[in-house]
Amino acid sequence: IIGAGAWGTALAVHLGKAGWPAKLWDIDRAHVANLLSDRENKRYLPGVSLPSCVQPVEELETAVRGAECVLLVTPSSALRGTFRRLKPLLTRGMRLCCASKGLEVESGLLTHQVAAEELGADFPLAAVSGPTFATEVAAGRPAAITVASGSAELAGWLALKLNSGAVRAYVSGDVTGVEVGGATKNVIAIGAGLSDGLGYGANARAALLCRGLAEIVRLGVALGGRASSFMGLAGLGDLALTCSDDQSRNRRLGLKVARGTPVEKALEELGQVAEGLYAADAVHRLSRRLDLDLPISEQVYQVLHRGRDPGKVLKALLSRPLKSEDEVPVAAA
């Protein structure tokens, strides 16, 4: 497992409880040293002990050597560099999977596309996504995930490994749809946090979630995903979770900014990566490139990256021309 943040550690704990030995590596050697001495991730997942079959390691080569599967759980901004470091260490037959949720900002590429550029066709990538908070998975509470791959064999193999205890795993062949859902829901979750932070209430949050989902589908289909994927765990499921619960870092970022905390200060207070910050930039660029109307995502981008006032941008959404839910503009009276 590459990346010992909250989610990487939670997956290690989950797999360890199921009896699957795992090596856990992180680029922060001091963090790994603490994992070794404490047998607990006190920084990101306090109070959860590592199973005996989970071994933190200081060297990437040690983590990868002999592995059946390499599971990446790093911030999306670090994925390309991580793939480059992994390439000389991978051997034919190793399985690759990514549980990170994000888009590469400048290129707009999805994780499996970045992997293809760096690793070629010999190491196809599977994606794990769905409505999951690390603390709940690590605590053994019920959850459901989607494992997506263009290879049915790879998706099935990973699903069998992850489907244990309280976690139920479903498979999908739509890697694009699953990755788009996992990345873009973070942008809408920030929007929900902005709305709640301004005191707009439950009605506004539900409207943002619903219309935000329409934007996710619009973008996902334009990128080659299936519309049906966004009604599943990696789409609607993950969106509902992150928009409605304060365990979501992205939602909390929106709350803080709406209440007057500058973006940089809010990120510092969170103490961990809020992927929606980067996804908002990537979605903004993609919407321009693909000529897509994504108004909620665009206004979140304007708040985070252009310093616009949250109250003004949310009010601007309410003043947009009327539309049908069939995406056809309503004729002016």
Residue range 70-92, pLDDT digits in tens:
999 999 999 999 999 999 999 99
- In the chain, what is the straight-line distance between the N-terminal and C-terminal CA atoms, in Å? 59
Q: How far apart are CA 54 and CA 23, in angstroms?
A: 6
55 pLDDT more than 50: yes
Check if 6-173 and 176-318 are the same fold: no
pLDDT of residue 330 exceeding 50: no
Topology classification of domain 6-173: Rossmann fold (3.40.50)
Instruction: Output the pLDDT for position 72.
Output: 99
Nearest in space to 258 (alpha carbons), one of 208, 304, 305: 304
Reference 128, options 75, 179, 63, 166; nearest CA is 179
Residues paired with residue 171 on neighbouring β-strands, in sequence order = 147
Catalytic (active site) residue 185:
yes
- Please give the structure tokens belonging to residue 278: 């980067």
pLDDT tens digits for range 3-33: 999 999 999 999 999 999 999 999 999 999 9
pLDDT, tens only, 182-201: 999 999 999 999 999 999 99
Q: What is the pLDDT of residues 129-155, one digit of tens each?
A: 999 999 999 999 999 999 999 999 999
CB-CB neighbours of 81 under 10 Å: 12
Q: How confident is the model at residue 326 (pLDDT cuts 50, 70, 90)?
A: confident
Q: What percent of the chain has pLDDT over 90?
A: 93
pLDDT value for 297? 98
Residue 333 has pLDDT above 50, yes or no: no
Q: pLDDT tens for residues 289-305?
A: 999 999 999 999 999 99
Query: What's residue 324's pLDDT?
Result: 87
What is the architecture of the domain spanning 176-318?
Orthogonal Bundle (1.10)
Among 23, 101, 161, 185, the one annotated catalytic: 185
Rounded to an integer, what distance in angstroms lies between the CA atom of residue 117 and that of residue 225?
19
Q: Of 142, 164, 163, 138, nearest to 49 (Cα)?
A: 138
- pLDDT recorded at residue 100: 97
Q: Which residues pair with 132 in a beta bridge?
A: none
Domain extent listing, the chain = 6-173, 176-318
pLDDT value at residue 138? 98
C-beta of residue 146 within 8 angstroms of C-beta of residue 162:
no
Give the residue among 283, 294, 317, 278 at the shortest CA–CA distance from 194.
317
Provide the angle, in degrees to the nearest 10, between the axes of the packed helices 202-222 and 175-197. Answer: 150
Q: Does residue 329 carry a pLDDT above 50?
A: no
pLDDT given at position 331: 46
pTM of the model: 0.95
Q: What is the pLDDT of residues 256-302, one digit of tens each?
A: 999 999 999 999 999 989 999 999 999 999 999 999 999 999 999 99
* Averaged confidence pLDDT in the chain: 96
What average pLDDT does range 293-319 have in this prediction? Answer: 96
Instruction: Evaluate if residue 251 carries a pLDDT over 70.
Output: yes
